[in-house]
């Protein structure tokens, strides 16, 4: 993890000063690295920088939807969804939806992010319903890479099921145990 963060710092430092999209994208990747390392303050610090840089981009400066305010807001949303902070995730999804252009690709990206946020935030039924819709959209429009998000939702649900089963078993054993005091 340390080596990866070191490389990402180098990418930020060596990105051309005048190429805002490249610098911003590198900063956003660095923020993602800090989130994966469990360093939320550093994640938020670098995401704020990525957001500031993205706000400076206009027209041709946006790398065909790969980096800009929409991608920064979606990164915030996805990151907060993974942490189980559904409210913050949904706030950033709302922000991303209001940044032009909103095409089918971004619709699917934000729907998969919303499904993640709902399930990890405890709204399991609504999240699963949306995840099922996302599977169909991903297959229909060829955004197969986004299915990884839905697989992560499935994995999360499986972990929850195992944990609930173990907890239920522990409680059942306690209740079925000796009744005399």
In a domain, 181, yes or no: no
Residue 102 shares a structural domain with residue 168: yes
Residue range 99-121: mean pLDDT, rounded: 93
Sign of CA pseudo-dihedral 127, 137, 143, 105: negative
State percent of the chain over pLDDT 70: 94
Residue range 105-126: mean pLDDT, rounded: 96
Residue 100 shares a structural domain with residue 39: no
DSSP code of residue 180: -
Residue 54 shares a structural domain with residue 79: no
Residue 30's closest CA among 22, 42, 19? 42
In a domain, 55, yes or no: yes
Residue range 140-154: mean pLDDT, rounded: 95
In a domain, 180, yes or no: no
Alpha-carbon distance of 114 to 135, in angstroms, equals 13
Residue range 33-91, pLDDT digits in tens:
999 999 999 999 999 999 999 999 876 545 455 789 999 999 999 999 999 999 999 99
Question: Taking the mean position of all CA atoms in its chain, how far away is CA 150?
Answer: 12
Give residue 96's domain range.
68-175
pTM: 0.87
- Cis ω for the linkage preceding 101 (within 30 of 0): yes
pLDDT at 177: 80
Of the residues 37, 61, 85, the one at which a domain ends: 61
Of the residues 40, 61, 82, the one at which a domain ends: 61
In a domain, 3, yes or no: yes
Question: Taking the mean position of all CA atoms in its chain, how far away is CA 156?
Answer: 14
**Residue 110 burial by Cβ neighbours in a 10 Å radius (0-12, 13-18, 19+):** buried
pLDDT at 179: 65
Residue 74 shares a structural domain with residue 23: no
Q: Are 67 and 21 in contact (CB under 8 A)?
A: yes
Residue 82 shares a structural domain with residue 164: yes
Of the residues 61, 77, 94, the one at which a domain ends: 61
Residue 79 shares a structural domain with residue 140: yes
Residue 19 shares a structural domain with residue 96: no
Alpha-carbon distance of 26 to 23, in angstroms, equals 5
Buried b (16+ CB within 10 A) or exposed e, 111-140: bbbbbbbbbbbebbeebbebbeebbebbee
Q: How many domains does the chain have?
A: 2
Residue range 8-27: mean pLDDT, rounded: 90
Residue 53 shares a structural domain with residue 77: no
Alpha-carbon distance of 158 to 57, in angstroms, equals 41
pLDDT at 101: 75
Residue 101 shares a structural domain with residue 149: yes
Average pLDDT of the residues of the chain: 91
Residue 22 shares a structural domain with residue 7: yes
Residue range 10-19: mean pLDDT, rounded: 89
């Amino acid at each position: 993890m340390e080596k990866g963060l070191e490389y990402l710092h180098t990418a930020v430092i060596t990105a051309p000063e005048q190429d805002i999209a490249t610098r911003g994208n590198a900063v956003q990747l660095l923020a993602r690295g800090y989130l994966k390392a469990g360093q939320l303050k550093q994640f938020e610090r670098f995401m704020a920088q990525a957001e500031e840089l993205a706000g400076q981009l206009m027209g041709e400066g946006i790398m065909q939807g790969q980096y800009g305010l929409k991608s920064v807001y979606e990164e915030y949303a996805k990151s907060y969804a993974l942490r189980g902070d559904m409210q913050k995730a949904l706030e950033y999804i709302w922000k991303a939806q209001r940044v032009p252009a909103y095409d089918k690709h971004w619709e699917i990206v934000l729907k998969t992010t919303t499904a993640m946020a709902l399930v990890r935030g405890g709204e399991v039924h609504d999240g699963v319903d949306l995840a099922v819709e996302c599977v169909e959209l991903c297959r229909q429009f060829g955004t197969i890479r986004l299915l990884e998000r839905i697989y992560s939702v499935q994995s999360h649900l499986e972990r929850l099921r195992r944990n609930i089963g173990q907890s239920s078993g522990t409680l059942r054993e306690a209740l079925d145990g000796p009744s005399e005091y």
